[in-house]
Structure 1
């Protein structure tokens, strides 16, 4: 069985729906699509410095996807927000940070993204073997009662000192604290670029009003798309976003400003079209869109491959997948990540 047949088998009865879809909303010719020459074709035209270009190329030049323009990143910072127990109890070897980096290396990831503590503890052994993405802010749920705010845990200079290729950060767009977070991370990204590192922004939504009895608009294409647009505006080179599951957040919640064309012409109910709208809000792909792998469950392999197919066919730049890999034995985690990477390596899975 060849790679395409394996992908089709995992997609099951959705194979034709996803692999045969033609995007009739925003044409692929309007996009800046990923490719081996992305740094030369896109980054080099911006105001990014030569050291930032080198850092971007380091991300694109590592792992099984080296030279494709696509990214497969292992993110393991859940120990802070979700608690170390909730994150690592299913597979206690990952309480040891070295095993996190070993998983990324074994799986042939482009980079490993984690906390100051995790990466600094093994930096001298691994920073030159796989690109590091140091996450500088986090939410933590030990405070009681719980609150939801991204606060700085580390400085950009600490990322530079350990040889990181990029810094990562999260903004909870739509939250009461988002104004401060936008200002903090805009400044942090400016510093990161001045020190020669690339920037990756987790553009998440967080507001209880975004979830109604009928739908959870935290994963609406229009709202997440606007979060992406704000993220690129403050200097993110790469955007991390959840895969969209619905649309019409602005209309349903009756706030903000949008246009009917967003729903009537620029998107549809098809998941590839919804994700294409996310890509469009990343300056039509000038900033790469990587979608998150989501929580671990019973059908992780199939779900991860489905997400990769949607992201790639929409014009995205890859997947940042963690819990579906590290919450299982390392061998199985590697298999899940390889299956995702195979989607980006398979030339017959094209941009819709």
Structure 2
């Protein structure tokens, strides 16, 4: 980590008005970490898929990934900005890797058997303090019947986190209610989801890359007349909806995909003004050497080196 805050990072932090110096210091820990430190771009490793999909579906393709230490070391060796995981995963390496990589404690989770679109609170702000985490992470599901309960939960957690100087990252994934399957990734819906996360006080917003589909009938005329075929333009619109870029916006890698698609996503996020990628399965489900090479190239893309 570079000790001197760069002008790029100062500019980002200055946009967080009414934010304590302690929270800004933890945001700076993430923004100044690793190979992208000081650039304003981020690559974060999230490993909450064991909760969401189960260990076999998540790790059997690369058995070394069953070990929580594997993910800490991957994030450190790749020069990433932060490592995000549920309570048990972080606890399993907290002493060994203390101070080597900023961590984001994922505070709610679900599983693939649940019939409701909801998540349980699985960790506390006190856990984040004990583990030295720079931020808490939390998923909301705009559209779900349980959305309002999730909103009230993150309001309480975020208030407590801010009071002890810890930043808040919100995963905002539209799902449920009247949304169609195509609507979950629609441009208008993704922009709305990012805006709601910003309104809830998120310091870092995590959304999925949107398609060109427009879901809400009330929005079709508003988006008509503009060519949304380029992913970079769709990213730009989501960033615009995140308080006109006043909030850090990172985009998830989603399900495993080919390398070319991963690299193109990074270029489009960069060109659309997004702050980076939060990429899990597309890295830890590959052999370690391949994952490191992929992450190194993603970092080069964000540094405008290719």
TM-score, normalised via structure 2 length = 0.93
Q: Which 4+ runs in 1 deviate beyond 6 A?
A: none
Q: 1:313 aligns with which of 255, 260, 271?
A: 271
CA distance in 2, matches of 1:55, 1:68: 16
Q: Indicate the larger mover: 189-198 or 128-137.
A: 189-198
What CA distance in whole angstroms lies between the structure 2 residues aligned with 1:84 and 1:150? 18
Aligned pair 1:169/2:130, yes or no?
no
Matched residues in 2 for 1:113 and 1:122: separation?
A: 12
Any idea what SS the aligned residue of 2:95 has? helix
Q: Cα distance, 1:236 vs. partner? A: 0.5
Q: Partner of 1:272 in structure 2?
A: 232
CA offset at residue 38 of structure 1?
4.6
Are 1:92 and 2:58 an aligned pair? no
TM-score computed with the length of structure 1 as normaliser: 0.81
2:215 corresponds to 1:249: yes
- Give 1:293's aligned residue: 253
After superposition, residues 130-149 of structure 1 pair within 5 angstroms as 130-143=101-114, 146-149=115-118
CA contact (8 A) 1:44 1:53 kept: no
Structure 1 position 261 matched with structure 2 position 261: no
Partner of 1:150: 119
Q: Secondary structure at the match of 1:72?
A: strand
Aligned to 1:20: none
Q: Answer yes or no: is the 8 Å Cα contact 2:250–2:276 preserved in 1.
A: yes
- Other structure's SS at 2:244 match: helix
Q: Tell me if structure 2 keeps the 8 A contact 1:97–1:122.
A: yes
* 1:3-22 correspondence runs (5 A): none
Segments of structure 1 that go 5 or more residues without pairing to the other structure are: 1-34, 252-256
What is the CA-CA distance between 1:217 and the residue it aligns to?
A: 1.4
Q: In structure 1, what is the Cα distance between the partners aligned to 2:24 and 2:9?
A: 6
Q: Distance in 1 between matches of 2:156 and 2:172?
A: 16
Deviates more, 1:201-210 or 1:315-324: 201-210
* Alpha-carbon separation, structure 2, partners of 1:262 and 1:237: 27
C-alpha separation in 2, matches of 1:150 and 1:264: 38
Aligned partners of 1:138 and 1:151 also within 8 Å: yes
Distance 2:159 2:270 in 1: 29
Once the two structures are TM-superposed, the CA of residue 141 in structure 1 deviates from its matched residue by 2.6
Within 2, Cα distance between the matches of 1:55 and 1:113?
A: 14
Distance 1:340 1:114, change over 3 A: same
Aligned partners of 1:175 and 1:115: how far apart in 2? Answer: 22
**Residues 110-161 of structure 1 deviation map (CA, whole Å, 9 limit, x = unaligned):** 1101110000111122130100011000111345xx3331110111110111
Decide which structure has the larger Cα Rg and report it. 1
Greater shift after overlay, 185-194 or 46-55? 185-194
Match of 1:205 in 2: 174
Greater helix content: 1
1:25 counterpart residue number: none
Q: Distance in 2 between matches of 1:70 and 1:175?
A: 31
Structural mapping, 1:52-63, within 5 Å: 52-63=23-34
Counterpart-to-counterpart distance in 2, 1:324 and 1:208: 29
Paired residues in the alignment total: 301
Displacement of 1:269: 2.5
Report the CA distance between 1:44 and its aligned residue: 3.4
Would you say the 8 A contact 2:267–2:301 is kept in 1?
A: yes
Secondary structure at the counterpart of residue 173 of structure 2: strand
